[in-house]
Structure formats: C-alpha cells, structure tokens
Amino acid sequence: MPSTYEQIFENNKKWVANMITRDADFFEKLAKDQTPDYLYIGCSDSRVPANEIMGLEPGDVFVHRNVGNLVNNTDLNVLTVINFAVKHLNVKHIIVCGHYNCGGVKAAMIPKDMGLLNPWLRNIRDVYRMHSQELDAITDEQKRYSRLVELNVIEQATNVIKTATVQKGYQKNGCPIVHGWVFDLHSGILIDLNINFKAILESIQKIYNLTGIDSEHNEDGEEL
Ligand code: CO
C-alpha cells in the first residue's frame, strides 16, 4: 500500500495507540529485553516481511535480510547476526526463507555482467552450477527458476550449518535447529522444505566439522 513519507509517522502513532489498547505495558515490556526463539534470514524483497508472514509480534524474531537470502562465509554482517543470535539470544531455530519470484535469483539466472551485483549473485550462480544437472533437466523456465529458489534456500541453510557457532551451539545445547522455507507470493503460504538438519550436519562434518577449534586455536571465543 503506497503511503507518503509524512503518513508513515501518522501510521506509527496509530500503531502505538493500537498496541497500548491491547496491552498498556506493551512498550515497557518491549524495552526491557528480547528473548526471540527464532532467527530469520530472508530476502530484502519488500513483499516478504518476516514478522507479518510468520504472524509474530515485535520481540519474537531476530531478523537478517539481504538480496537473495544469502549466507556468505565472508559476510561479517550475516555471521555476526548468527553469532549473536546463537550465543547471546540462544535462539532455538534458524530459518532461511527464500521466496518464489525472487529478483536476485532471477538476475543470477541471466548470464550477463550486472556490475556491482556480480560478486553477490555469484553465490546464487554457484548454487546453479552445483545443481546444473537437475536444473537443466527442467524444460519449463518458470519451474526451473522456482527450483533454483528452493535449492538456494537449501544451500544457504547448509551454509548456516557449516558455521562453528551453529555446530557448537547444537553440540552443547541441542539447538539451534536450522530450517529452509520458501514463501509463495501468489498464495501467501510458507512452505517448509523439510530439510533434514541432522543429516546435513552429519554429511558435512567430514569436511566442515568445526566443533573442536575453540579449545585448540581460538581462545578468545571468536568463531565463524
Ligand atoms: Co528476493
């Protein structure tokens, strides 16, 4: 719904009034602390607002969004979010949520120079390359596009599982569990791709097992 710049502050006042009507102490409680159970990593796309699609209130979900919901191992931003969410907020679940009709995924499917976007889209192009056999076998372009959205979610969720933070958290506390979802813009429905967190963890640990690094090499507790 388009609104003018000034309207946003009017909207905000109405929202505040509405929240106080529901619970007079709402903002007092909100200011005290946050104890979200979920970390949501999703696309920046304006049509996929984390709290709304999950039906959650302020304070319920810790959110990180970027173009194409990527978890890149040199992106200090997303790694910091994961680290903070796991070590300090003790989130129980980490969700990587993609969406069909994702512009980032679409752009990555077009083999041309996108300027500044190139290095970012490379992550999605790498997902295509890893799964090119499956993807190239899909003749319908829209279906191939949708499948790449799903595979990108699975690969980014796997990237979350590759982090020392998540592996150590899970070893110590049995959480977080990592999930992969896709949001369908046409229906508003969230689809759980039902990735098998334990199986992925076990399958990658031959190469990516980082659970022992802390005591040996990284005394100050930094972990990526
Ligand atoms: Co998108």
- Per residue in 75-130, pLDDT (tens digit) is 999 999 999 999 999 999 999 999 999 999 999 999 999 999 999 999 999 999 99
Q: Is residue 222 part of a domain?
A: no
The confidence score (pLDDT) of residue 87 equals 96
CA–CA dist 194, 177 (Å, integer): 12
Helices (H), the chain: 5-22, 26-32, 50-54, 76-87, 103-108, 117-130, 132-136, 141-161, 164-173, 197-208, 213-217
Verify that 23 and 42 share a domain, yes or no.
no
In the residue annotation, 43 being an active-site residue is answered as yes
Verify that 3 and 56 share a domain, yes or no.
no
Active-site pick, 23, 25, 37, 45: 45
CATH number at residue 111: 3.40.1050.10
Verify that 203 and 188 share a domain, yes or no.
yes
CA–CA dist 65, 60 (Å, integer): 16
pTM over 0.85: yes
Structurally, how many domains does the chain consist of? 2
Active-site pick, 64, 97, 102, 179: 102
- DSSP code per residue over 56-104: --TTSEEEEEETT----TT-HHHHHHHHHHHHTS--SEEEEEEETT-HH
**Location of structure tokens 């191992």:** 73
CA–CA dist 112, 47 (Å, integer): 26
Verify that 24 and 116 share a domain, yes or no.
no
Active-site pick, 43, 64, 97, 179: 43
The confidence score (pLDDT) of residue 219 equals 45
In the residue annotation, 47 being an active-site residue is answered as yes
CA–CA dist 165, 218 (Å, integer): 12
Verify that 141 and 160 share a domain, yes or no.
yes
Q: Is residue 188 part of a domain?
A: yes
Q: Is residue 177 part of a domain?
A: yes
The confidence score (pLDDT) of residue 3 equals 75
* Ligand 1 centroid distance, CA of 105 (Å): 7
* Ligand 1 centroid distance, CA of 103 (Å): 5
CA–CA dist 27, 18 (Å, integer): 12
Verify that 76 and 115 share a domain, yes or no.
yes
Per-residue pLDDT of the chain in tens (224 residues, 90 and over written 9): 667 999 999 999 999 999 999 999 999 999 999 999 999 999 999 999 999 999 999 999 999 999 999 999 999 999 999 999 999 999 999 999 999 999 999 999 999 999 999 999 999 999 999 999 999 999 999 999 999 999 999 999 999 999 999 999 999 999 999 999 999 999 999 999 999 999 999 999 989 888 875 444 554 556 77
Q: Is residue 44 part of a domain?
A: yes
The confidence score (pLDDT) of residue 222 equals 64
Q: Is residue 217 part of a domain?
A: no
Q: Is residue 219 part of a domain?
A: no
Verify that 26 and 50 share a domain, yes or no.
no
**Location of structure tokens 């949501």:** 40
The domain of 24 spans: 1-32
Give backbone dihedrals phi and psi of 89, rounded to 5 degrees, phi first: -95, -15
Q: Is residue 216 part of a domain?
A: no
Verify that 18 and 79 share a domain, yes or no.
no
Question: How far separated are the first and last CA of the chain, in Å rounded?
Answer: 39
* Ligand 1 centroid distance, CA of 24 (Å): 37
Verify that 145 and 169 share a domain, yes or no.
yes
The confidence score (pLDDT) of residue 224 equals 72
Verify that 23 and 125 share a domain, yes or no.
no
Please name the residues in contact with 11: beta carbons below 8 A apart, sequence gap of 6 or more: 3
Verify that 118 and 44 share a domain, yes or no.
yes
The confidence score (pLDDT) of residue 215 equals 47
**Quick one: angle between helices 164-173 and 141-161, nearest 10?**
60
Active-site pick, 47, 126, 129, 192: 47
The confidence score (pLDDT) of residue 36 equals 98
Verify that 47 and 132 share a domain, yes or no.
yes
Q: Is residue 214 part of a domain?
A: no
The confidence score (pLDDT) of residue 218 equals 52
